[in-house]
Chains A and B, each alone.
Chain A
Amino acid sequence: MTPAILVIEDELPMRRVLRTALGGEGYYVWEAGTKSEGLSTFNKRAPQAILLDLGLPDGDGLDVVSAVRELSEVPIVVISARGDERMQVLALDGGANDYVTKPFREAELLARLRAALRSAAAHATPHEERLQIGPLRIHPVERRVYVNGEEVALTPTEFSLLHVMARQAGRVVTHRQLLREVWGAAYVDDTQYLRVFMRQLRQKLEPNPNKPQLLVTTPGIGYRLRAPND
């Protein structure tokens, strides 16, 4: 079945470009130009993913995120202007799965969308499932991690951190999301914890920790575990 994507974007030229690009990749595209139109199309058509522009004429894109999240876990990729890290973080913490900044290359958009669809599928699978991401293999039940077949010893916190990122491989995970899932809700503002452990993880997993290729920093937003086909 071809996945149907709902594009909520007020700029007609951009919508046309997205329709062509997504159509070329074999996706079915529903279009909406406003927040209300977008929400009604979502209710009627039940798309497999949503591409959402944050700047809409009749309201905030963040409202769309929360309205959709009340009803479903459908992946949402947010499109926003550059330099809007605060909005991006709000959208991600509000339940959006990933974001792209305008202007973006087609390949980047498709990669984000694929990762979002994939992680939505992974979400349905239990946490115990073994994960293979590029050179990484993760065994959640035994809490073991292998890089290129070699086992790497991780502390329990390091493992939890990696596991959270691995389950959302290819997607950006915000600082708050990581802190909440690994340390708990009381620690969401303690970014320095995260940084210390992220450095340790890099030391253990990256071939060159000074040029991270797996655990990539997204300035002001969070970290991304790079999926092999990114």
Chain B
Amino acid sequence: MSAARASSERRRAPARELVLGFFRQHVGFVWGALTNVITTSLAFWVAPHAQLVHLMIIHLLGAVLISTRFGMAVSTFTAITGALAFDYYCIPPIFAFALPDPHSVITFAGMLVVALSVCWLNQGLRLQRAAARESEARTQALCELSLDLSQVADRAELSSRAERHLERLFGPGARLVLGARGHLEDGFEMQPVGEPGQPLGYVLIDRRRLQRAGAGERRLLLAACADRVADALKRLALGEAARRAEVDAEMERNRNALLSAVSHDMKTPLASILTAGTSLLSASQLSPSKLGHELLETIVEEAERMNGLITNLLSVTRLEAGRAVLNRELEGLDDLVFGVLSRFSGRLSGREVTLDIPDALPMVPVDAGLVDQLLVNLLENVLRYTPAASPIEIQITYQHGVMVLNVSDRGPGVAAAERDKVFDKFYRGQAAKRNDGGTGLGLTICRAVARAHDGDICILPRPGGGSTVRFSLPCPSMVQADLLPTGTRLQA
């Protein structure tokens, strides 16, 4: 189809163009013929003073000269016509195509063979040189393209610069289309940029440019260009991703800095309010006024609740910002549980608390303050969401290098769909009432603490109703309490 279009274009061109075009295309044959005319004239002129061999060399020279400049066809044409002219003008009988004696036959055949061989050798040399030039040009073009693309700052600039190079290399109409979806245009060839499976864009090239001589080379060049463009695009994408990540991190840092500054500044006045409130409360016991006493109790309780909220908020931001430096010391998990239980003893009165803790529990390297906060939050949750006087079970096991703490209750349980969500920041379960004092941060902190210790926490349904919160803590290399025979080795 494109050939038909090309020929119709050619018909429309003016006659002068046609002649010039013919000469441009067949200039080699013209030169070959011209050379033969010159060598034959020269040979004819010197013939009276020279031997046949000398005349042959003059003809041979013409054919060799032509073969250094032109292709195989032109060289062969020149060699054969030269040989024929030699026969016609130089070999007696002159002005006749005849080979009367064996000497002339050998000279003629020798000349033809030598001319053709030289042509053939020269052809090889020429092609090699052309290939070297081509590859040098290709390397140079690719270098320029890479260099140019390495300086672009955005996709629009990359696109315009790449197109400038493509047009120079592949002629007008060469284009770069960015995006995974290219559409094939009539008469154009599409070269994907990047992985063929998920291209970053396409290079569109006029198909005619790829059908001429050296198409293989040009395809290679095209693929190489597409690779360079893909590299530049990837570099841009990486740069953008890095910049975006930096901006995100900066925002997160600012948010956390703000949160922790605000929380810290809120805690100071809150501490004064709480102490003042409790101070007044104990004074009001001396001169009791029921209303005043209740109001003071409200102030104190709400101040404590607010303090708990701020403490949790601070911990979450610290842990999530990765700024919390774990102050790990060997602690007994059971010891930490005892500590929390004795602080909660008032609020736990009326509940049956069952402990299932083995005697020889190894010590674990944990941040006691953080694990304490985890335990406090777990107990707070149980107290908040399970019926008063319902039992609580705390179990610690140690198996295969993992310490597991289970806190089980007989409360309403947590719906399967919510078991993961309840650990999200500010998520409050369906069972949570609006003003039950929860903040949606307790379990978030538990998880942050567990993960900061390379452990994890999850909620499991409990047979017979209620749920179990499981905190698991991997402790691969641990100090076994068993290694210390109780009461024997260290006695004074």
| Residues of chain A having any CB pair with chain B under 8 Å | 11, 13-14, 16-18, 20-21, 24, 81-83, 85-86, 102-107, 109, 155-158, 160, 175, 182-183, 191-193, 195-200, 210-213, 216-221
**From residue B380, how far is it (CB to closest CB) to chain A in Å?**
15
A195 neighbours in B (Cβ, 8 Å): 330-332, 335, 363, 481
Within 8 A of A (CB), among B308-340: 311, 314-315, 327, 329-332, 335-336, 338-340
Q: Is A220 touching B367 in the complex (CB atoms < 8 A)? A: yes
In contact, A158 and B487 (Cβ under 8 angstroms)? yes
Contact residues of B between 151 and 168, Cβ < 8 Å to A = none
Inter-chain contacts of A82 with B (CB < 8 A): 311
CB of B59, distance to nearest CB on chain A (Å)? 104
Which residues from A are CB-within-8-Å of B327?
Answer: 85-86, 220
The total of interchain contacts (Cβ-Cβ below 8 angstroms) comes to 138
Known: A216-B342, A218-B339, A219-B371. A103 touches B282 (CB 8 A): no
Give the residues in chain B near A198, CB-CB below 8 Å: 335
Distance to closest chain A CB from B40 (angstroms): 108
- State the 4 A-B residue pairs at the shortest beta-carbon distance, nearest first: A220-B368, A217-B339, A103-B271, A219-B372
Q: How far is the CB of B326 from chain A (nearest CB, A)?
A: 11
B278 at the interface (CB under 8 A from A): yes
B190 to A: closest C-beta gap in Å: 62
Bound-complex Cα distance A188 to B469 (A): 35
Task: List chain B residues, Cβ under 8 A from A21.
Answer: 275, 279
- 15 new A-B pairs (CB below 8 Å) besides A102-B268, A105-B275, A211-B342? A14-B268, A20-B276, A21-B275, A83-B369, A105-B300, A155-B491, A192-B484, A195-B481, A200-B486, A216-B338, A219-B331, A219-B336, A219-B339, A220-B367, A220-B372
CB-CB under 8 A for A24 and B279, given A102-B271, A196-B481, A200-B486: yes
Given contacts A83-B314, A196-B486, A217-B339, contact A104 B367 (CB under 8 A): no
- CB of A191 within 8 A of CB of B329, answer yes
**Residue of A with least CB distance to B264:** A81
> Is B272 a contact of A160 with CB atoms below 8 Å?
no
**Which residue in chain A gives the minimum CB-CB distance to B304?**
A103
B480 to chain A, nearest CB (A): 9
Q: Give Cα distance in the complex from A210 to B272, angstroms.
A: 35
Say how far B437's CB is from chain A's closest CB, in angstroms: 17
A211 touches B338 (CB 8 A): yes
A58 nearest CB across to chain B (Å): 17
Hey, which chain B residues are within 8 Å of A160, CB to CB? 492
CA distance A86 to B330 in the complex (A): 14
Residues of A with C-beta under 8 A to B276: 13, 17, 20
A109 B363 Cβ-Cβ under 8 A: no
Contact present for B275 and A18 (CB under 8 Å): yes
The listed residue (B274, B345, B368, B486) touching A103 by CB distance below 8 A is B274
B270 at the interface (CB under 8 A from A): yes
Find out whether the CB atom of B341 lies under 8 angstroms from the CB atom of A106: no
Give residues in B with beta carbon < 8 Å to A: 264, 267-276, 278-279, 281-283, 300, 303-304, 307, 311, 314-315, 327, 329-332, 335-336, 338-342, 345, 353, 355, 357, 363, 367-369, 371-372, 479, 481, 484, 486-487, 490-492
Please give the distance in Å from B293's CB to the nearest CB on chain A. Answer: 15
Task: Tell which of B267, B273, B303, B487 has the most Cβ of chain A within 10 Å.
Answer: B487
Residues in A neighbouring B479, C-beta threshold 8 A: 192
> A79's closest neighbor in chain B, by CB?
B271
- Are A105's CB and B274's CB within 8 A? yes
Task: Quote the shortest CB–CB distance from A21 to chain B (angstroms).
Answer: 4
Verify A13–B269 contact, CB threshold 8 A: yes
**B279 pairs with A81, CB closer than 8 A:** no
Contact of A106 among B275, B329, B335, B367 (CB under 8 A): B275
- A44 and B156 alpha carbons, distance in the complex (Å): 76
**A192 touching B330, Cβ below 8 Å:** yes
How distant is the Cα of A103 from the Cα of B269 in the complex, in angstroms? 9
Instruction: List, sorted by A's number, 24 A–B pairs whose CB atoms are closer than 8 Å.
Output: A17-B272, A18-B275, A21-B279, A83-B369, A103-B270, A103-B271, A104-B271, A104-B274, A105-B275, A107-B278, A107-B282, A155-B491, A175-B329, A191-B330, A195-B331, A197-B487, A210-B338, A211-B341, A212-B342, A213-B342, A217-B336, A219-B369, A220-B327, A220-B329
Whether B267 contacts A109 by the Cβ 8 Å rule is: no
Closest chain B CB from A187 CB (angstroms): 9
Asked whether B490 lies within 8 Å of A183 as measured between CB atoms, the reply is yes
For B481, list chain A residues within 8 Å (CB): 192, 195-196
Q: What's the least CB distance linking A161 to chain B, in Å?
A: 10
Quick check: A196 and B338 within 8 Å, CB to CB? no
Q: Max chain A CB contacts within 10 Å: which of B329, B371, B492?
A: B492
Across the interface, which residues of B come within 8 angstroms of A183, CB to CB?
490
CB distance from B475 to the nearest CB of A (A): 13
Q: A196-B484, A220-B367 are in contact. Are A106 and B272 (CB under 8 A)?
A: no
Q: How far is the CA of A83 from the CA of B314 in the complex (A)?
A: 10
Residue numbers in A under 8 Å from B353 (CB-CB): 211
- Give the complex CA separation of A221 and B368 in angstroms: 8
Q: Say how far B427's CB is from chain A's closest CB, in angstroms.
A: 24
Chain A residues lying within 8 Å of B484, measured Cβ to Cβ, are: 192-193, 196
Contact assessment for A216 and B491 in the assembled complex, using a CB-CB cutoff below 8 Å: no
Whole-angstrom distance between the Cβ of B347 and the nearest chain A Cβ: 13
Chain A nearest CB from B18 CB (Å) reads: 93
Name B275's contact: one of A109, A192, A199 (CB within 8 Å).
A109
- Residues of chain B lying within 8 A (CB to CB) of residue A182: 492
Bound-state Cα–Cα, A21 to B491, Å: 46
Known A83-B311, A213-B342: A11·B268 in contact at CB below 8 Å: yes
| Distance of A158 Cα from B355 Cα, bound (Å) | 25
Q: Name the B residues within 8 Å of A193 (CB-CB).
A: 484, 490
Q: Which residues of B contact A196 (CB under 8 A)?
A: 481, 484, 486
Alpha-carbon distance A186/B314, docked complex (angstroms)? 37
Q: A196-B486, A220-B369 are in contact. Are A20 and B304 (CB under 8 A)?
A: no
With A192-B479, A195-B363, A210-B355 known as contacts, the answer to whether A106 contacts B487 (CB < 8 A) is no
- A212 and B338 in contact, given A191-B329, A219-B372 (Cβ under 8 angstroms): yes
